[in-house]
Structure 1
């Protein structure tokens, strides 16, 4: 399971999740019953209320929303079960067929519910204000306001229903093609056939020959399927352009910003701040790292290489659990207790295996159940940080769950808060227990690289998406043209410390990144979250008294408050350009320390 750079006990079983808390099996009577009941309830709700919502008083509309929420939660449970089974093995055709079947059935059922949000958006402001006076409806104000924020972009009922029903044969189908292509691919590395996850992992191996071989194997593999990846990218970009045009979104990123409940100008300020900081962050650090490696510039496959003195020999799963939970508990016993539930119960799928989704995620499922975490744990310190990250998502989702299905969901810009904060807590705990200056330097360098990957790399990927979608509006792009956009943005971000020429093999590495396919313009949320957490952590260090309580309240708010309301108790405002500079100064300060070491 692990290579030489991170030896862990291969006999120690890594946890595998048990999805029985959702459904015991794909053919379980409870699953069939939920499908049938959701279909019946959705049709009944539509028959009783379609065309009537604007005429309801606040109490009656509140009761309708309660029914609507219950049906959506039932559909969410069904979809979550199918998605998690699929993530566990995307290569199994029966699992893929089940996932597709559930997706189609839930899409059909939810089509009968579409009238609810469409008609809510047709209520005039005066009538809506009167309806909100009823406590039964006022509870849902944040969700209703989010729904109504899309009013200027809503199309006719017939077009909205068509777009909804065609999703499974449109963007969703292209997503599936991408996922299954990646899952089935094998990459030739040193005479072995590796999955994408296995090959990408070797890019952080201690052996430079393995890193180079992995990079070459990945590049060759991506190039062999470049026609497919280019078709998927072009089609999805055009699909988005068509819908954005119909909905009158001014920019490709605007729909994502609206869904994230963050203003365009706030995102623009973040992007500008990070790009302006490239020279003092990534450019400076990678030149420093190249100096440590005794070269003028690093090959691209050495960007995340362990430092020459790094003796990281791996962290067992029990030790990783202990490290993360101790860090969480030291900050807040309540946070630690919530995190412990994931280890005491089968809520984590940790081991890498063929067919499994690459990377890591936390899936919230539905409030009546609990989140699940997926990882590909290989025993490195970076994997411990990934565990801390995904566990942060998990405890956030547990805390927000009591808000209910419609109000628990957090905008992406705030969804990364708990995950990145969990990483910071774990890093600081690791740093605190180390007295060896060399080990501390290695830990600090590793943290800087993680932060650069979270902030600089994600903004560079955001810039790639922006240029790709802008250019795609002029016509279909060739793989070489896509690769040039990718390389241009990466060269700008990484600077002279990384060797990247116009014909670099790295020009095909845009092909494997799932965020571009599944969630266009998702990636800036990582940078938003990292800068936000840096600012939050600075407040915690300055004024720790009472901070954990306010922090848990922030997480428990779920989607009931926007970023300005949530950050106000900490004296922070993301609309202030200085906010981003404060967050970025934390990264710069760490690099200052490394330069002095």
Structure 2
């Protein structure tokens, strides 16, 4: 998304923890209360906010259009503050509509409301597009002089982010056209994807299941039940593959057209720029992970096949519990306490912020028909608080998902004082607190376990989560990159999309697997490809970053590590990854950084081989 666009992403920092299913059924699980945003779709405050935002945006345009260059530093700082206030109101409105829609994407009334709010907010925000365009027309010397004013210097980090896009912006009339057509273009295709998935039902052994329930069954202890779920998912996705292929082709072509007009050199360039990470850093990450396939995924899944007494695994065995593992289920209070205690052992401040999500109705926990699958954290606006969405089924992976999303939520709370324009972090750094929260929780559970069998179960769960977060996400990245590259030559058929999918799956997962036809269309349900192109490498970035960061913590070589860590989270979007990692002696530009991160994964696999 261009930095000049005042609309927030649908789900920030992403629509799900990782494209792996998981959830649970219980009427006792807590839901969220959105009243801290608005009291309902008919709340008069909502209409009042829309009216006030429209009037403020029109007045702002009348006052500043064509005048930004003439403003003093102090006056430009005041103008940005006014721009930020309008943006906060629009963010609040859209956050409410998005969260309401997320818990029931099959409700037509909610769907119309969400669409209506999106259209109204888009119309209002289009009046503001000129502002960042005019900021970017200032030459460096003029801007540097203005930045001596404290009121403007306060926004220096935001201005730096805005100006990163200056070479890729278009004239205002074109920017407004692209912006206003979003609701009938890209956003409409995203909504079609979301609502199609929400309406799907999977016939598993005569029972109708939602996507969340079907994906959860892929972790069942009974192989026959896993197979039934996998075949049902494959059959239903295949029945809808024409729709998913059309959405994929349309959005890839839409991105190609806009990238061409904006003069981006390759399909990944805009995402890297938004993530504030250099192309060569992403290339180093992807290369390091791909080079590790044999020593990570291939080695682990060969070990798992031996545990299962099989020469090769089926795809529905990938996340299966070990044959002798207990089918351990965690009650919600138990999961909550595990995560908060792990957070508290590291930092009481971290646990105190996390506790707020449970003391208040800030989490929607139970799976329901129509609810979006997966999990996410939405920051909403600094004047309110984040909300977390889960689909909790009580498995150990769901405990890790809670630890992950709570990490996002705590990060967003700590960064909120930076304000709407500077609290949001790039996707790569947004995954730091979430993956770190998982690591804290896992280490606490592992350290408390003395039984060798249960310890192996915990280790296998962590290894599989890391493989899903690192290897699998880089494989997803490769799939996405190849799709966008081939789309430049013409539309891809359903069979071609499936062929690319199978190629990257075979390469990443390795020779321990048999891949049957039911798996060919599993690309169809991955939301990240649709919601946020090239999001997925951020998971691998975050996991390897956290592994290196946690190694520093364990080594005890950085004084006041906890305080520095919380300062890093509180920085929000004001610092780049090089600046944030410097206090810990880490540098993501160094290839050794990624090898160190991957080394944590290989060490866990070493331990599992010894336990075996």
Structure 1 residue 465 and structure 2 residue 480: aligned? yes
Report matched runs for 1:315-394 at 5 Å. 315-394=330-409
The alpha carbon displacement at 1:297 in A equals: 1.1
Shift of 1:507: 1.1
| Equivalent in the alignment of 1:3 | none
Q: Equivalent residue of 2:132, what SS?
A: helix
Number of the residue aligned with 1:242? 257
Question: What's 2:126 paired with?
Answer: 111
Q: Structure 1 residue aligned with 2:596, among 566, 575, 582?
A: 582
The corresponding residue for 1:425 is: 440
Partner of 1:69: 84
Coordinate RMSD, CA, aligned: 1.1
Deviation at 1:545, TM superposition (A): 4.5
Residues 111 and 330 of structure 1: is their aligned pair in 2 closer, same or farther, counting only changes over 3 Å? Answer: same
CA contact under 8 A between 2:27 and 2:366: conserved in structure 1? no
In structure 2, the gaps of 5 or more residues are 1-22
Decide whether the 8 Å contact of 1:17 with 1:348 is kept in 2.
Answer: yes
Q: Judge conservation of contact 2:479–2:504 (CA < 8 Å) in 1.
A: yes
Are the equivalent residues in 2 in contact too, given 1:397–1:408 (CA < 8 A)?
yes
Render the CA deviation track for 1:71-116: whole Å, top value 9, x for unaligned. 0000000000000000010000000000000000000000011111
Secondary structure of residue in 1 paired with 2:520:
helix
Aligned partners of 2:581 and 2:509: how far apart in 1?
Answer: 31
Distance 2:321 2:120 in 1: 47
Distance 1:278 1:378 in 2: 30
- Poorly superposed stretches of 4+, deviation over 6 Å: 8-12
Alpha-carbon separation, structure 2, partners of 1:399 and 1:393: 10
How many Å separate the matches in 2 of 1:49 and 1:175? Answer: 34
Matches within 5 A, 1:269-288: 269-288=284-303
Match of 1:129 in 2: 144
The TM-score, its normalising length taken from structure 1, stands at 0.98
CA distance in 1, matches of 2:519, 2:25: 32
Distance in 2 of aligned mates of 1:534 and 1:165:
42
Cα separation, 2, equivalents of 1:582 and 1:436: 29
Q: How far has the Cα of 1:500 moved from its partner? A: 2.1
Q: Output the CA distance in 1 between the equivalents of 2:348 and 2:150.
A: 34
Note if 1:43 corresponds to 2:58. Answer: yes
- Structure 1 residue runs of 5 or longer lacking an equivalent are 1-7
Secondary structure of the structure 1 residue equivalent to 2:276? coil
SS in 2 for 1:406: helix
Could you tell me the TM-score, scaled by structure 2's length? 0.95
1:508-532 CA distances to partner (integer Å, 9 max, x unpaired)? 0000000000100000000000000
8 Å contact from structure 2 (residues 24, 393) kept in 1: no
- 8 Å CA contact 1:312–1:381 kept in 2: the answer is no
Q: Structure 1 residue 12: deviation in Å?
A: 6.5
| Equivalent residue number for residue 100 of structure 1 | 115
* Equivalent residue number for residue 550 of structure 2: 537
Q: How does 1:392-407 map to 2 (within 5 A)?
A: 392-407=407-422
* 1:268-299 Cα distance to aligned partner (Å, 9 max, x none): 00000000000000000000000100001100
Pick aligned residue for 1:509 from 495, 518, 522: 522
8 Å contact 1:327–1:429 — kept in the other structure? yes
Distance across 2 between alignment mates of 1:547 and 1:310: 36
2:69 to 45, 50, 54: 54
Question: Among 562, 574, 583, which residue is 1:548 paired with?
Answer: 562
**Aligned pair 1:441/2:456, yes or no?**
yes
Q: Give the number of the structure with larger relative contact order, counting CA–CA contacts within 8 Å between residues 6 or more apart.
A: 2
Distance 1:273 1:356, change over 3 A: same
Residue 5 of structure 1: aligned partner: none
**Within 1, Cα distance between the matches of 2:27 and 2:530?**
35
- Distance in 2, matches of 1:304 and 1:249, equals 38
On the 8 A contact 1:9/1:316 being kept in 2, the answer is no
Q: Distance in 1 between matches of 2:131 and 2:216?
A: 46
Distance 1:105 1:157 in 2: 19
Distance apart, 1:505 and its partner CA: 1.9
Q: Distance in 1 between matches of 2:327 and 2:358?
A: 24
Give the 3-state SS of the residue equivalent to 1:484 in structure 2: helix
Deviations 1:46-80 (A, max 9, x none): 00000000111110000000000000000000000
